[in-house]
Amino acid sequence: MGNFTKAMGNLVHNIHTSHGERTATVQNLFGEINSKLQDFDSQHKQMATDQQNRLRAFASDLRTTVGGFIEQLRADNQGAHTAFFGSNSKTRKTRK
């Protein structure tokens, strides 16, 4: 019976040891995951800020570019109207 008792004692010891090792491993894993999530959150916030700044710059540039095209179109239309009807024509209504 001594061998059985010794074997059971070794089994219990191994169970306790492996439980402690698993607990430590899981705690380390949680710490690493938490660190990765914090890094991800920080990088995501920075990415969102960068994208917002780029979109603002794009929209501003787009307004400037399109505004220039519209003014150029108006000038071209006015020139065409003047060429077709003459400069004293009252037939064209101008927008303000």
Nearest alpha carbon to residue 95 among 68, 60, 71, 62: 71
Tens digits of residue pLDDT in 46-70: 999 999 999 999 999 999 999 999 9
Whole-angstrom CA distances from 50 to 17, 46, 55, 64, 92 are: 49, 6, 9, 21, 47
Supply the pLDDT for residue 90.
61
92 band by pLDDT with thresholds 50, 70 and 90: low
Whole-angstrom CA distances from 82 to 72, 73, 79, 94 are: 15, 14, 5, 12
Longest dimension (CA), the chain: 124
pTM of the model: 0.52
